[in-house]
Structure 1
Amino acid sequence: MSTPMWKRVIARILEALLAIVFLAPLVWVIICSFSPQAGSAQSDGWGINNYLTLFNYQAGLPTYLFNSIVVSLIAVVFSVVVCTLAGYSFSRFEYPGRNLGFMVTLSILMVPYASLLIPMMVWFKDIGLNDTLLGVGLVITLFQLPMSTFIMRNAFNAVPKDMEEAAMVDGCNSFQALVKILMPVVKPSMVTVGLLAFLEAWNNFMIPLYLSSSAKSTLPLAMVNMRQQTMGVIDYGATEAGVVILLIPCAILFLVLQKYYVKGFMAGAVKG
């Protein structure tokens, strides 16, 4: 039975209204980053002076972008590798403490990560990871583990064990079956885990604030340091330019990977 025309029209109108609600702030920020504003470098006429201010701030925009990219890549690589192996272990192997280990992993979600940053800062100083991009990336990975492991476990649960058993009959061990047979099947979930890790690392402010100095600042932290100018006046123009730069990689990645993102979240939705 087909849906009545009036219901389809109402649904499309509601979708358009929701799109406007979500897109309007983004469009407004982009326009304001080029428009004249008092107290900003672009005080007269339209132009790119706000972006030039951001580009030349202290160490320079390329340095902060490089730091953000390195931290994001570390978080993505470690999150995908660790959570894929953890999800495979929790899904496929029977061993004492498996369920307890899974519950302990999920329990990290219950801990406010701000409460752990000062102890981690002290510990990282002892082991030489304080004020390093590697340390920031590893801490971000830690807080990505619960949800990402949950996603990967459900993804592996949704794959029939017959595929893995057939590969083992042909001579594969568990690791070879994972790499050659299962990973291509759960690729959408792996992409989802990587995308979530990138978005968290790219936009994270709190962890770099505690664990890195100004020389190792990521772009969100540099933006906060830059936005307050002479006499406490906030440079909204440069701040909006920074928001646009932060937005571009996230929007591109999401548009390119959205089909995997949707499939990744749907994997294991029925069989979990």
Structure 2
Amino acid sequence: MKRPTYYVSMVIISLFFVYPIVWSGWSSIRLGDAFSLDSYRKLANYGEGIGTYLTNTVILVLLTVGGTLIVATFAGYAFARFRFPGRGLLFVLILAILMVPYPTILIPLYVMLGWFGLQDSLIGLALVMIMFQLPFAVFMMRNAFESVPRTLDEAAMIDGCGSFRALTRVLLPAVVPGLVTVGLFAFLASWNDYVAPLILISSNDRFTLPVAVVNMRLHDFGAVDYPTMQAGVVFMALPCLAIFLLLQRYYVRGFMSGALRG
């Protein structure tokens, strides 16, 4: 494919992805024949206040991303570097979670969280989000570690490092693209998920942004307040876009540098 044709094709494809965001931004400030920021003022003052919902979402994101990275890193390292009984079966069982549509088991998980006193809590919700991120995350990190030559950690151990120090001092810097990819997926899932917070969170002051945005769509007499809802969409989309643009080079390297081998 000639270079001009390639660029034209990429621009056309990009427009299909950019158009919904641009349309949402336009709809959020267009009120009839005039332009106004009233939609954003309504968004800021809705319910418990947009600051409360944003704080809840940020807490959920930090717990989910942090927990996913920690568990997936140690699990991926163990699957890539150690041989233990049941290793293959355990890995298959982790991947099997992908075959279960997660909305079908949210009610049992809600009951289980009640046993631990974690119902209607962001910690309980984060644990559920981490569980559903683990199959992809462990798969990515296992293959990321397998793409690193064993001679690196063997040399570190010869120099006196144990398994943990070899992991933290030598291997982690080598799998940064895989870590960023896992973290980005966990961020997008926890930032945008609607079904799990809707079922597992019942207190209005603990709602996340997706639940709040969907709830604010109803206006007087059952009418849909589209401008305010589109303002919420823009408010949610911009951080995702900014973080992806910031980390895209690591994200691409995470897939291209052997992260999906094996």
Please classify the TM superposition score into its range, dividing by the shorter chain length. over 0.9
CA–CA distance in 2 between the matches of 1:118 and 1:19?
A: 39
Q: Which residue of 2 aligns with 1:179?
A: 168
Equivalent residue for 1:163, pick from 152, 156, 167? 152
- Aligned position for 1:201: 190
In the alignment, what sits opposite 1:15? 10
Contact 2:59/2:122 (8 A) holds in 1 = yes
Aligned to 1:53: 42
Task: Work out whether 1:35 is the aligned partner of 2:25.
Answer: no
What is the TM-score of this pair, normalised by structure 1?
0.93
1:138 and 2:138 correspond:
no
State the 4+ residue runs in structure 1 displaced beyond 4 angstroms. none
Partner of 1:40: none
For residue 224 of structure 2, give the secondary structure of its aligned residue in structure 1: coil
Q: What per-residue deviation string (whole Å, max 9, x for no partner) do you get for residues 145-182 of structure 1? A: 00111110110010000000000000000010000000
Aligned residues with identical type, % of pairs: 46
Name the CA distance, whole Å, in 1 between partners of 2:16 and 2:232: 22
Matches within 5 A, 1:97-116: 97-116=86-105
1:244 pairs with one of 234, 237, 247: 234
By how many angstroms is 1:31 displaced? Answer: 1.2
Contact 2:140 / 2:259 at 8 angstroms: preserved in 1? no
Deviations 1:73-118 (A, max 9, x none): 0000000000011100110000000010100000000001011100
Per the alignment, residue 59 of structure 2 pairs with 70
1:18 is matched by which residue type in structure 2?
I
Are 1:153 and 2:142 an aligned pair?
yes
Over the residues paired in the alignment, what is the CA RMSD in angstroms? 1.2
Q: TM-score, normalising length from structure 2?
A: 0.97
Q: Which runs of no fewer than 5 residues in structure 1 stay unpaired?
A: 38-43
Conserved 8 A contact 2:103-2:195? yes
Give the one of 208, 224, 234 matched to 2:214: 224
* 3-state SS in 1 of match to 2:31: coil
Q: 1:255 aligns with which of 241, 245, 249?
A: 245
Which of 85, 98, 110 aligns to 1:121? It is 110
How many angstroms does 1:16 deviate by? Answer: 1.2
Q: For residues 231 and 65 of structure 1, what CA distance do their matches in structure 2 show?
A: 28
Cα distance, 1:11 vs structure 2: 1.3
> Aligned AA for 1:69?
V
| 1:60–1:14 Cα change, 3 Å | same
8 Å CA contact retained: 2:178, 2:259: no
Count residues in correspondence: 261
1:92 and 2:92 are equivalent in the alignment: no
Aligned partners of 1:105 and 1:145 also within 8 Å: yes
> Partners of 1:270 and 1:50 in 2: how far apart?
43
CA apart distance, 1:267:
3.0
Letter in 2 for 1:216: R
User: d(CA) in 1 for partners of 2:13 and 2:71?
Assistant: 36
